[in-house]
Amino acid sequence: MKPNDIKISVREKYDKIAQSSNLKLDISCCGTSSCCDGFGFSMIGDEYNNIDGHNPDADLGLGCGIPTEFANIKTGDAVLDLGSGAGNDCFVARAIVGEKGRVVGLDFSEAMLAKANDNVTKLGYSNVTFVKGDIEQMPLGGNQFDVVISNCVLNLVPDKNKAFAEILRVLKPGGHFCVSDVVVKGDLPEKLKADAEMYAGCVSGALPIEEYLDAIRQAGFENVNVHKQRKIDIPESILRNYLNDNEIHSFTNGDIGIYSITVSGTKV
């Protein structure tokens, strides 16, 4: 897929998720085909229920970790959340930075931004804002954030090198990022790589873990640290949309793996 086609596919999928979530169905929007029209499966394995700032209306079950867990956010910090969706991680970050800090969420889905703005209006926060923009070319000035976070989003960005270069640009000297994301070990089958639905399901856009970490270092980050990793299993019912029986057996029993990782790096 061409980079612009990937972005269009991802934007349309997440617009649809945001719009479907307004139906107030008691399900994870990422975890059911009835909500997301074949979106596939939920990869989240970490629960937000006991985390300060968690807002159920903003949690659509689209993450693959909890980046704030290892982000070392402090009171008064300026925090940027990339691919902020309905605002869940922004509100968790806001609970940490307090009234003296500020949180900005960046997303390119109009429907997600609308939902996030509805949520922040209900919460009454004056220091949480949401901005429309592309992660590869953020409409934000440089050297202004103490911490950048993101949750299962950068794997969907076609050019990871541009994404990490932009993260470096907007961070203050001495600032750092902490993101939860999806990577692969081994080569994904070509049919999975080519399908738009699997891109929007955070799988086909994932880089090999070594290449992902290299992109971070090449952008200029230091102290790169993988805090957590967890293997993700794609249900056989989903794999059957792309692979035959022999291919499924090889995929599920071979060395290849799809992992959620939480990684951080520092701008010096």
- Give the chain as a DSSP string: --HHHHHHHHHHHHHHHHHHHTT--SS-GGG-HHHHSS-------S--TTSTT--GGG--S--SS-GGGSS---TT-EEEEET-TTSHHHHHHHHHH-TTSEEEEEES-HHHHHHHHHHHHHHT-SSEEEEE-BTTB-SS-SS-EEEEEEES-GGGSS-HHHHHHHHHHHEEEEEEEEEEEEEEESPPPHHHHH-HHHHHTTSTTPEEHHHHHHHHHHTT-EEEEEEEEEEEPPPHHHHTTT--HHHHHHHHHSS-EEEEEEEEEE--
The Cα–Cα gap between 264 and 164 comes to 11
Instruction: Give the dihedral sign, CA 217/220/224/230.
Output: negative
pLDDT for 85 equals: 95
184-193 confidence digits (pLDDT tens):
888 777 777 6
pTM equals: 0.86
Of 105, 177, 185, residue with least CA distance to 148: 177
pLDDT for 128 equals: 98
Separation of first and last alpha carbons in the chain: 35
pLDDT for 26 equals: 36
CATH of the domain at 246: 3.40.50.150
What is the number of domains present in the chain?
1
The Cα–Cα gap between 44 and 113 comes to 21
How many angstroms separate the Cα of 74 from the Cα of each of 68, 78, 161, 200, 240? Answer: 11, 9, 28, 32, 46
**Within the chain, which residues score under 70 in pLDDT?**
1, 21-46, 193-205
196-231 confidence digits (pLDDT tens):
455 545 565 678 899 999 999 999 999 999 999 988
Domain that holds residue 248: 3-266
CB of 71 within 8 A of CB of 149? Answer: yes
The Cα–Cα gap between 134 and 127 comes to 22
Of 219, 204, 213, residue with least CA distance to 264: 213
pLDDT for 69 equals: 95
Bridge-based pairing state of the strands 145-151 and 102-107: unpaired
What dihedral angle (degrees, nearest 10) is formed by the CA atoms of 154, 133, 144, 260?
-10
CB of 63 within 8 A of CB of 180? Answer: yes
Bridge-based pairing state of the strands 78-82 and 145-151: parallel
108-137 confidence digits (pLDDT tens):
999 999 999 999 999 999 999 999 999 999
One-letter amino acid of 31: G
* Residue 32: both structure tokens together: 């059911």
